[in-house]
Amino acid sequence: MIKIAEDANAAGGPPSWRASSPFSAPPSRSTAELLSGVTGEPATPQGLKETGERIYLTERFYNARNGFTRADDDLPDRFFTEAGSSGEGIDVPPIDRAPVRGGADEVLPDPGAAGRRLLPGRRIPRAAAVKSLIAKYAGKLHRDRSVLPGRVGIAAQDDVMLSEGAPDLSRLAADVLSRLSCLGSSPGAPSLPFASYLLRRADADAESVVPLDTETRTFLHDIPIVRREELAGDPARAIAALLSNRKGVIAEGVGIVASGPVTLEQAYIHYSSVFHAAFVKYLLDALQAGFVLPGEAEAFRSFRETFLQPLTAEGLRFRAAPLDAPEEVLAEIRAVGRYTVLRGLVDSFFGNISYRVGETIFISQTAASLDELAGCIDPVPMDNRSTTGITASSELLAHRRIYEATGARAILHGHPKFAVVMSMLCDVKDCPVKDCWKDCTRVRMLGDTPIVAGEIGAGGLAVRVPR
């Protein structure tokens, strides 16, 4: 709660805008729309929270570099030695110092070398830890089969620049990162030629690819493209110029390059997002317009024969329903989330999952990895009488409404690429609706499965999906 409040306050703009309460609400969609209207730049509530996080971390960097140490990271002495303001029947004794110091050790961010001075009790070999993270996310990209074997480079900016992977791509990652106010960069050669085909299909003067699936329109907006001639002189400069206001780009002859503003994980997520968007848009274009490039049909045939893997239930072990004990519910949610990712049903870890026991919804937290849900599942009362839902998935309201409207006990929400593609096929011509993903009022059927439109979160899915 403290971290969310800090990020929200920091993202609120100049001090004159910021709420006086330390527990202000997270940035709302209306705040994002207001900012977007003023600046002309796309903004989202999640993007504002990420901005707040960067502001807060940057402030701590400056403090540390100007001599701020762990000893300064404290309340004034009088809080621990003097009673607080009392009232009728109210006594406010001095605060116990130990929990305050212990709590600070848990929640304060570690800003690199400065952080080691701030948090002397948490010394770790930073380079080794960062290299371990680089290996983790490179391994995930290979496991997801979104990069060619051995063709990824990842760089991270810590006390020093660290990069690993294919020599040419790791050098590019470091060069790009050195030009950005970011923590991570991940160029990779996609395992499928779809991004390259999209670039070749685009008009010669096109500056970006514009997928129309919900996730891309919400979080990426569009995907800038960098032509081969633009990379001829200083490729890192050309790519960094676009990454300064986008999460990923498609670079001709290189592949996909993504950045992570605050964490290395974000670079992995953004690479996966661009790979997913390119995959979906190419298949949709191919279904609608056919193959138009030399060798395209052959490449697609190879994709069907070698990339696609049949689904199998081999090795899966599920608990018998109903589940009532919280520890059983948590264990099964973790297992199902992990299976969903490892079987390739979703990209990276995108999605959310919940299970209802009586009047409690056990639901994955916002931005939690479906394959790493230990400690990231919230028990939220159906009547919303507690604040446990503050860190829950942004789709909590949709889950709750589904439970209210149906007899369901479990909900798994993900974005399988083929389901996304098929949901976007429509035979209506000259339709006045432009943003089909959120504004279409029709309910179409794919077999006996309904397809509905609706914005992410409370704005649409919670209204359209339950019935």
pTM of the prediction?
0.72
Which domains occur in the chain, in start order?
Answer: 2-84+92-122 (no CATH), 127-306 (3.40.225.10), 326-464 (3.40.225.10)
- Sign, CA dihedral 127-130-136-140, equals negative
Q: What's the average model confidence in pLDDT over 121-142?
A: 77
In this predicted model, what pLDDT tens digit does every residue of 57-86 receive, in sequence order?
778 777 777 877 767 777 888 888 988 887
Query: In the chain, what percentage of residues exceed pLDDT 70?
Result: 88
- Residue 34: helix, strand or coil by DSSP? helix
Assign 101 a pLDDT band (cuts: 50, 70, 90): low
458 Rama class: left (phi>0) / alpha (psi -120 to 50) / beta: alpha
**Dist CA 193 CA 183 (whole Å):** 28
Assign 343 a pLDDT band (cuts: 50, 70, 90): confident
For the record, the structure tokens of 114 come out as 């400065």
How many C-beta atoms lie closer than 10 Å to residue 347's C-beta? 24
DSSP letter string over 78-131? HHHHS----BTTB--PPPPHHHHHHHHHHHS---HHHHHHH-GGG---HHHHHH
Q: Whose CA is closest to 140, among 285, 268, 16, 35?
A: 268
The pLDDT score that the predictor gives to residue 96 is 84
Query: What's the alpha-carbon Rg for the chain, to the nearest Å?
Result: 24
Q: Any idea what DSSP says for residue 306?
A: I
Q: How many residues does the chain have?
A: 467
Q: Whose CA is closest to 337, among 372, 311, 309?
A: 372
How many C-beta atoms lie closer than 10 Å to residue 98's C-beta? 9
**Dist CA 326 CA 413 (whole Å):** 21
In this predicted model, what pLDDT tens digit does every residue of 236-261 receive, in sequence order?
999 999 998 899 999 999 999 999 98
Q: When comparing pLDDT for 283 and 96, which is higher?
A: 283
Q: Are 160 and 288 in contact (CB under 8 A)?
A: no
| H-assigned helices in 126-178 | 126-143, 167-177
Highest mean pLDDT among 19-33, 119-133, 373-387, 397-411: 397-411
The pLDDT score that the predictor gives to residue 13 is 52
Cβ contacts of 399-405, under 8 Å, gap ≥ 24: 399/352, 399/354, 399/361, 399/363, 400/361, 400/462, 401/462, 401/463, 401/465, 401/466, 402/465, 402/466, 403/356, 403/361, 404/466, 405/466, 405/467
In this predicted model, what pLDDT tens digit does every residue of 287-324 receive, in sequence order?
999 999 999 999 999 999 998 888 888 989 999 988 99
Q: Whose CA is closest to 411, among 420, 399, 422?
A: 399
